[in-house]
Amino acid sequence: MVSGSVGNPPLPVLQDARSPAEGRVDPGSDDRAVLRAMQAGGGLRLLGLRVVIVLVLLMAAQAYDGSLHALSHWLILGLYGLGTVWFGLGERSGGPRAEAYSWAGTLLNAGLAVYVIIEHMLAGGGAGLGADAVSRLPAFLLLLQTGLSMRVAQTLLFCGLVTACWSAAFLVGVLYPELFPGPDTFPTAQITGLATFAAAGLLVVDGTTRLRAAVTRALRMEHERTQLARFVPDTVALDLAAEDGDSALGVHRRHACLMILDIRGFSRLSREHPPEAMVTALLAVRAVAQAAVSEQGGVVDKYIGDAVLAQFVFGQPGAQAQAALACTLSIRRRMAALNAARAREGLFTLRLVVALHAGDLLVGVFDDGVRAEYTVLGPAMNALARIETQAKAAEIEVAASGDFLDLLDGALPAGLRAVPVPQARLPEPLALFALAA
């Protein structure tokens, strides 16, 4: 096996190059974006749910007369109905007060749940399953409604207020049993209801938290995939976006195999032939490179004059190296066919030099706010440029580093061998090899 696996120095710590003013990001902006995405189109449904809950509470109170249900009971339910619809409309209208309306609605929900529970305790809590169910129905319905708003903090507030008030009323009933009817059944019934509500609250809060986290990740992935899809194939964009990169910069640390090719003697050819002929030849080489790279699942990073920089970032390092080598051999075959066609037309033929290297890089869309560019950065890129320079100096058609060949694990195609180039001027421990037939 070729020795060269330590040829690439570690990547430096990624620094945000934006100015301090640009680097400051409102920590709540992402959270608000997630909330808007989850509630998109759901404003009317949430408002309708408030109305349905009011109607259910009224019907439940009417169907069971085991509680006090004095005039104050119906008055409070009516006021709650008006209040919750008012706050719902205010929240749905948006504007600077929408958040305040939302919090006020949560406090109103908690107040109603606590009122009905304590009223039932004073009226004989635990005396019958039907009465218990009716008294606890508002707490559970309003818990679900608050959870469906996807506001974790408000769901926690609702659960905390109801649990605290319910627990306080229960403790008062234990200390002063004469205040509450049914002292024999009171403790067991209230403990069961309180424990059930607390468990349900934990489940709703946990589910809301997990759902918001999942939506946050999905939105981040979709945003980054959209950014990447402008520059790379969708499969590569999805693969990169699925990784946990730097969420602020959209950049990932990724192993990649790199390939650079350029036309030998391009400057000399430019002096000998008209510009139109050189442009035609250059475009033909680019077309050959683009077809071969795409065929192997790679990405053409950029065109630099007469050079083409390509990268293979998809899959495991070994698979990347196999794809890069297959791409190189495909380019040789395509160039042979292109030169044969050009020779038949009486045109000058073209010779290429190809350099291959591998290493860990920073991969992603680098956006300075003025121009966005997909590329790779890192020490491996600098090493690739040196390898190409040495390949030109040694008149090598296809050159590869020891790091690249190590990934192939000696599995070179039949008829191809790696020949060391000892005279190459490369920093230790980089090694240069010529891939020759």
E strand or H helix that includes residue 419: strand 417-420
Would you state the pLDDT for residue 1? Answer: 47
Least confident range of 11-25, 81-95, 103-117, 247-261: 11-25
pTM above 0.75, yes or no: no
Q: Mean pLDDT over residues 320-329, rounded?
A: 95
Would you state the pLDDT for residue 112? Answer: 83
CA distance 114 to 127: 19
Q: How confident is the model at residue 236 (pLDDT cuts 50, 70, 90)?
A: low
Would you state the pLDDT for residue 145? Answer: 80
316 phi/psi in degrees, rounded to 5: -75, 160
Secondary structure of 95-147 as H, E, C letters: CCCHHHHHHHHHHHHHHHHHHHHHHHHHHHCCCCHHHHHHHHHHHHHHHHHHH
Tens-digit pLDDT profile for residues 375-413: 778 889 889 999 999 999 888 999 999 999 999 987 888
CA distance 87 to 103: 9
* CATH of 250-436 given 3.40.50.300, 3.40.50.1110, 3.40.1080.10, 3.30.70.1230: 3.30.70.1230
Tens-digit pLDDT profile for residues 81-98: 777 777 777 766 666 787
Tens-digit pLDDT profile for residues 98-138: 788 888 888 888 888 888 888 777 766 554 555 566 677 77
Whether 36 shows a pLDDT value over 80: the answer reads no
Closest of 221, 211, 168 to residue 39, by C-alpha: 211
Average pLDDT, the chain: 78
CA distance 142 to 198: 14
CA distance 436 to 328: 12
Q: Mean pLDDT over residues 184-198, rounded?
A: 81
CA distance 350 to 152: 65
Amino acid at 429: P
Q: Domain boundaries in the chain?
A: 26-226, 250-436
299 phi/psi in degrees, rounded to 5: -130, 130
Whether 24 shows a pLDDT value over 80: the answer reads no
Listed in sequence order, the DSSP H helices in 345-424 are: 379-393, 402-408
SS3 content of the chain, % helix, strand, coil (to 5): 60, 15, 25
Q: What sign does the dihedral 70-71-76-81 (CA atoms) show?
A: positive
Q: How many CA atoms lie within 13 A of 126 on its CB side?
A: 20
Q: Mean pLDDT over residues 9-33, rounded?
A: 46
